[in-house]
Chains A and B, each alone.
Chain A
């Protein structure tokens, strides 16, 4: 299972990198969002996908799944959400101000802008 998951992570990373390298700002933001998913998936996979109980303490249960990656991912999800929201508004604002979402045209300060 883990091998497949790692390959899936690789493919997701490829997709996100491809999106990030494109010219459109909106595609870049979507790319970063996909990147987040790839990283989260990677984290939980590396912790091991062994079967075990839900990490909620119950007397008598011997094996739980690893709670640490879950805690890490929980933190990561919230942070990436915050960053994505900010990026989105930033893209929205820059589109309004600069008049383009083509990153190749976003070079320096646009002329006659005072």
Chain B
């Protein structure tokens, strides 16, 4: 148990304590008690910077279940540290913001409990060295985010969004588990470090591709990539601090972390590079295109998050090309890793601030609908400033940090086409084109985001509340983030050396160059691409109302949400239909299935297995027995054709008595005796019930019904006969009866072998057989004695008999 373990467990411990504290302290906002957790953790993780900067790492071990290789081992390198700092840093700001955002009337104990659970789980994901611990924390993030999205659980939309996100992320989580298991099987270890060090073992295993696909499913669902992004816009029903924290800065980046973490294992595969890049770019394009038509502030931000995550994903895909080169050429492509890690930080800062601004607007005006908002520039100047800084950073405008990473992104995409691997130089031409088009739309929605809230005409009559500037407490967190946006934009060097370098070195195997970002670095293709983006973006903003109709006219039927909802509606429908086909409620159908499969299985077995028939030891035929056999068969057939119940009961007892006679001829006196007695009693019982039993009614059994029954019956009879013949002809061992025969007198002091077996050698059988008899007696007694109150049973019988006759 090291300090590192304590750091991961601290949020969990507080998640237990906070609801209790909340019960007793009502006067102070409970968020103040939560705030120290992320702050302390952030400072604690800052202390690791010196370790990772020198290329070193920390490893802390704690045995949990060593038998199955599941140990709580934690590992800090540059990549983990970057994510840990994001989680705790943004976590602290979000907690601070939530104190003023959520009023004391809400169920704050629940809220902060869930939030801390999520924080701990997220730290666990990024710090775990053990794949199964990673999976455990992974599912905990899904679970806690489910709780957070459905925080206002009286709203239908919250529940819908929470269910959707849980279904999709758990689907991905389970597939991730499959991929991790495959990797541990081929890599012979559950430690991520060990797996990466022995990557060649995994790469040469036959399950490599399958493991890759499964892990990608996990990453894509969590990071809301195409086509799994659909849960993220619906998760916007959560309180805004949750959206800011989970759905912009942390949880959606868990997938990014996973892709980055396993890049050293999978980067050798062409499929990995193409899939990650292509899905990232499609997501970038589709997300930014859809963001332009959203009418809800958080909807715009949700789609923008989707698109920005796609951008990071694409950079990770291109960066993986560096694994195929040596030396300087490798460094050339590894620059994409640097861009990706830098953009991760940038996106967390500006997107979190934008969400907070959207929350402020919602809080102060009472609406998030862009059609009602507008002209708030002079009413809310501070929010306006923050929005301009962060939204322009998102658009990629200098001098903000988004510009630097956007520039590196375009550059990396253009560089990708120079590679002569995997037809990147031919098909790869599409990569920068899609990237640039996606960036144009990013510019459009970013600038429109500012415009929709703050420009245009002021419509106070449409707003539920009278808008005014929020309290100091509320805007301080987004303002701080806006300052960071400018600082990182002007002085990227304060980030590059301590954080970005170690993080990208953890992803890449090459000695990648030191990250450098400049606001202007010559007239490169990327520079001209950026100019084009601005020009096209401005042109599109002015013609917005002309082309947006084209996007809006995409029919609902083609949307993925439509498919999701349809499948959600039709899957229960069809499964019910399928279930109804065999769960018909008719006992005959079930018997048909059971007996039919008995026949089929026997036939298949007989066809596949050789068997022999052997009748050497068959005893001779005797006339008396033949007569009895004929009696049995005749009376049994009579039962089938009987028309009255009396006749069938008598025929049944005829079968029973013939059986008893048969037992006499085969030297079984005890059996004969019992059979006689039992048959007499059961016949008496049948006759006792005689007057109360219904008459034998065939209920108009149709011909096909009878034929079907007869076929099944004949099949079962044949199966029994054939199996009996085979079994009889293949006796492999002598009977153990000789022991009983020899020792019945000497050991058990009895002469009647059957009785001695029943009460002495195998007495337990007899004990429980008696219990069966006792239980049946009790059952009969209760059935007759304990009835419900109503007495109208007999009347109904009469009614029914009249209608059926």
Known: A55-B754, A56-B752, A96-B797. A10 touches B699 (CB 8 A): no
Is B275's beta carbon under 8 Å from chain A?
A: no
User: Does A3 contact B615, Cβ atoms closer than 8 Å?
Assistant: yes
Residues of chain A contacted by B800 (CB below 8 angstroms): 99-100
Is B728's beta carbon under 8 Å from chain A?
A: yes
Residues of chain A contacted by B620 (CB below 8 angstroms): 1
Known: A24-B699, A93-B783, A101-B694. A77 touches B685 (CB 8 A): no
User: Does B694 contact A89, Cβ atoms closer than 8 Å?
Assistant: no
User: Does A9 contact B720, Cβ atoms closer than 8 Å?
Assistant: yes
The 0/1 profile, CB within 8 Å of B marked 1, for residues 71-113 of chain A is 1011101110111111011111101111111111001100000
In B714-758, the 8 Å CB interface with A consists of 714, 716-718, 720-721, 724-725, 727-728, 735-737, 740-741, 744-745, 750-754, 757-758
- How many Å lie between the Cα of A20 and that of B666 in the bound state? 29
User: Does A102 contact B745, Cβ atoms closer than 8 Å?
Assistant: no
User: Does A34 contact B619, Cβ atoms closer than 8 Å?
Assistant: no
Residues of chain B contacted by A75 (CB below 8 angstroms): 758, 765-766, 769
Residues of chain B contacted by A1 (CB below 8 angstroms): 618-622, 625
CB-contact partner of B652 in A8, A30, A100, A114, under 8 A: A30
Is B197's beta carbon under 8 Å from chain A?
A: no
Known: A23-B701, A82-B772. A17 touches B713 (CB 8 A): yes
Please give me the residue from chain B that is nearest to A54 by CB atom: B667
Most interface-central of A7, A9, A83 (chain B CB within 10 A): A7
CB-contact partner of B754 in A7, A34, A52, A71, under 8 A: A71
Please give me the residue from chain B that is nearest to A4 by CB atom: B629
Known: A6-B728, A13-B716, A13-B717. 12 other contacts (CB 8 A): A1-B620, A15-B636, A17-B712, A18-B710, A33-B682, A37-B659, A41-B659, A54-B669, A55-B667, A71-B758, A86-B783, A95-B797
User: Does B619 contact A2, Cβ atoms closer than 8 Å?
Assistant: yes
Please give me the residue from chain A that is nearest to B780 by CB atom: A89
Residues of chain A contacted by B615 (CB below 8 angstroms): 2-3
User: Does B585 contact A57, Cβ atoms closer than 8 Å?
Assistant: no
- How many Å lie between the Cα of A92 and that of B685 in the bound state? 11
Q: Interface size of A by Cβ–Cβ distance < 8 Å?
A: 87
Most interface-central of A4, A21, A53, A73 (chain B CB within 10 A): A21
- How many Å lie between the Cα of A13 and that of B720 in the bound state? 8
Residues of chain A contacted by B721 (CB below 8 angstroms): 6-7, 9-10
Residues of chain B contacted by A33 (CB below 8 angstroms): 652, 656, 682
Which 8 A/B pairs are nearest by Cβ-Cβ distance?
Answer: A14-B717, A10-B721, A99-B796, A82-B776, A18-B713, A67-B753, A6-B724, A55-B753
The 0/1 profile, CB within 8 Å of A marked 1, for residues 650-687 of chain B is 00100110010011001111110011001001100110
Please give me the residue from chain B that is nearest to A20 by CB atom: B591
Residues of chain A contacted by B689 (CB below 8 angstroms): 88-89, 92
CB-contact partner of A95 in B685, B694, B725, B780, under 8 A: B694
- How many Å lie between the Cα of A24 and that of B595 in the bound state? 19
Instruction: Kindly provide the distance from the CB of A60 to the nearest chain B CB, expressed in whole angstroms.
Output: 12
Residues of chain B contacted by A95 (CB below 8 angstroms): 692-694, 797
Q: Interface size of B by Cβ–Cβ distance < 8 Å?
A: 103
Residues of B at the A interface (CB closer than 8 Å) are 585-588, 591-592, 595, 615, 617-622, 625-626, 629, 632-633, 636-637, 639-640, 645, 648-649, 652, 655-656, 659, 662-663, 666-671, 674-675, 678, 681-682, 685-686, 689, 692-694, 696-699, 701, 709-710, 712-714, 716-718, 720-721, 724-725, 727-728, 735-737, 740-741, 744-745, 750-754, 757-758, 762, 765-766, 769, 772-773, 775-777, 779-780, 783-784, 790, 793-794, 796-797, 799-800, 804
User: Does A99 contact B793, Cβ atoms closer than 8 Å?
Assistant: yes
Residues of chain B contacted by A26 (CB below 8 angstroms): 645, 648, 693-694, 696
Instruction: Kindly provide the distance from the CB of B609 to the nearest chain A CB, expressed in whole angstroms.
Output: 19
- How many Å lie between the Cα of A99 and that of B801 in the bound state? 8
Residues of chain B contacted by A6 (CB below 8 angstroms): 721, 724-725, 728
Instruction: Kindly provide the distance from the CB of B169 to the nearest chain A CB, expressed in whole angstroms.
Output: 39
Q: Does more than half of chain A's interface fall in helix, strand or loop, or is it mixed?
A: helix
Please give me the residue from chain B that is nearest to A7 by CB atom: B721
User: Does B720 contact A40, Cβ atoms closer than 8 Å?
Assistant: no
User: Does A56 contact B693, Cβ atoms closer than 8 Å?
Assistant: no
Known: A3-B615, A77-B674. A23 touches B780 (CB 8 A): no
Residues of chain B contacted by A51 (CB below 8 angstroms): 619
User: Does A64 contact B793, Cβ atoms closer than 8 Å?
Assistant: no
Known: A8-B633, A40-B659, A55-B667. A83 touches B701 (CB 8 A): no
User: Does B671 contact A77, Cβ atoms closer than 8 Å?
Assistant: yes
User: Does B632 contact A8, Cβ atoms closer than 8 Å?
Assistant: yes
Residues of chain B contacted by A5 (CB below 8 angstroms): 629
Residues of chain B contacted by A97 (CB below 8 angstroms): 793
- How many Å lie between the Cα of A101 and that of B693 in the bound state? 9
CB-contact partner of A21 in B591, B639, B776, under 8 A: B591
User: Does A99 contact B659, Cβ atoms closer than 8 Å?
Assistant: no
User: Does B773 contact A8, Cβ atoms closer than 8 Å?
Assistant: no
Instruction: Kindly provide the distance from the CB of A28 to the nearest chain B CB, expressed in whole angstroms.
Output: 8
Residues of chain B contacted by A2 (CB below 8 angstroms): 615, 618-619, 728
Most interface-central of A40, A52, A99, A114 (chain B CB within 10 A): A99
Instruction: Kindly provide the distance from the CB of B665 to the nearest chain A CB, expressed in whole angstroms.
Output: 9
Instruction: Kindly provide the distance from the CB of A76 to the nearest chain B CB, expressed in whole angstroms.
Output: 9
User: Does A71 contact B762, Cβ atoms closer than 8 Å?
Assistant: yes
- How many Å lie between the Cα of A86 and that of B781 in the bound state? 9
- How many Å lie between the Cα of A91 and that of B716 in the bound state? 26
Instruction: Kindly provide the distance from the CB of A30 to the nearest chain B CB, expressed in whole angstroms.
Output: 5
User: Does B693 contact A91, Cβ atoms closer than 8 Å?
Assistant: yes
User: Does A37 contact B780, Cβ atoms closer than 8 Å?
Assistant: no
Residues of chain B contacted by A34 (CB below 8 angstroms): 636, 639, 652, 655
Instruction: Kindly provide the distance from the CB of A75 to the nearest chain B CB, expressed in whole angstroms.
Output: 5
Instruction: Kindly provide the distance from the CB of A91 to the nearest chain B CB, expressed in whole angstroms.
Output: 7
Residues of chain B contacted by A82 (CB below 8 angstroms): 772-773, 775-777
- How many Å lie between the Cα of A5 and that of B694 in the bound state? 34
Instruction: Kindly provide the distance from the CB of B197 to the nearest chain A CB, expressed in whole angstroms.
Output: 62
6 contacts between A and B (CB under 8 A): A24-B699, A44-B668, A95-B692, A96-B797, A107-B586, A114-B790
User: Does B769 contact A78, Cβ atoms closer than 8 Å?
Assistant: yes
Most interface-central of A7, A24, A50, A70 (chain B CB within 10 A): A70
CB-contact partner of B758 in A7, A74, A108, under 8 A: A74
User: Does A15 contact B713, Cβ atoms closer than 8 Å?
Assistant: yes
Known: A1-B625, A101-B697. A21 touches B713 (CB 8 A): yes
- How many Å lie between the Cα of A96 and that of B766 in the bound state? 35
Please give me the residue from chain A that is nearest to B752 by CB atom: A56
User: Does A10 contact B720, Cβ atoms closer than 8 Å?
Assistant: yes
- How many Å lie between the Cα of A51 and that of B744 in the bound state? 20
Instruction: Kindly provide the distance from the CB of B305 to the nearest chain A CB, expressed in whole angstroms.
Output: 50
User: Does B591 contact A85, Cβ atoms closer than 8 Å?
Assistant: no
